[in-house]
Amino acid sequence: MTETIVTCPNCGRRNRIASRNDGVPRCSVCQHHLPWVVDATPADFDAELEATVPVLIDFWAPWCGPCRFVEPVLQKVADKHAGEMKVVRLNIDDSTEISQRFSIQSIPALVVTRDGKEVDRVIGAVPQAQLDALVDRVLGAPVTGDAA
């Protein structure tokens, strides 16, 4: 299981967040929702997608300039929507089979899943406003079953 250290935006306390598929992380001191950003490996990627909230997957690579541009934008989105969503970052250089499974042909690629199914995606280094609109659209969408 992957563990991440996150600083609470409310009280400044550093918190260790373990990978989990139920609930959302909260600060151990003030109980404020924490931004949920994890770096996944190919071994734990599918487990990281199992969450009770929508998951925003960031397909990136360390050599990609636009990916570095998107990283702080994603952190702001995670901070703003703490408790409402999870951000999973996946280095495509380490996981070509997962990139192929999601039909990723260029990066950065941001894919949103809900209950394990893709609901939206955006390709390229998008500005904050466009990413906010994507997340607002997904979070505002009603959760539906397998109804067609």
Report all structural domains of the chain as residue ranges with CATH numbers, in order of start. 35-140 (3.40.30.10)
Residues 6+ apart with CB under 8 A from 140: none
For 103, phi then psi, to 5°, come to: 55, 45
Strands 109-114 and 55-60, sheet pairing: antiparallel
Q: Is the link from the previous residue into 108 a cis peptide, with omega within 30 of 0?
A: yes
Task: Respond yes or no: is residue 67 known to be catalytic.
Answer: yes
Q: What is the pLDDT along the chain (148 residues), one digit of tens a residue?
A: 567 888 888 888 998 887 766 778 888 889 988 888 889 999 989 988 888 899 999 999 999 999 999 999 999 999 899 889 999 999 999 989 999 999 999 999 999 999 889 999 999 998 889 998 889 888 885 544 443 3
Contact 26, 33 (CB under 8 A): yes
Query: How many Cβ atoms are within 10 Å of 9's Cβ, its own excluded?
Result: 15
Which pTM value belongs to this model?
Answer: 0.86
The reply to whether 8 belongs to the active site is no
Amino acid at site 82: A
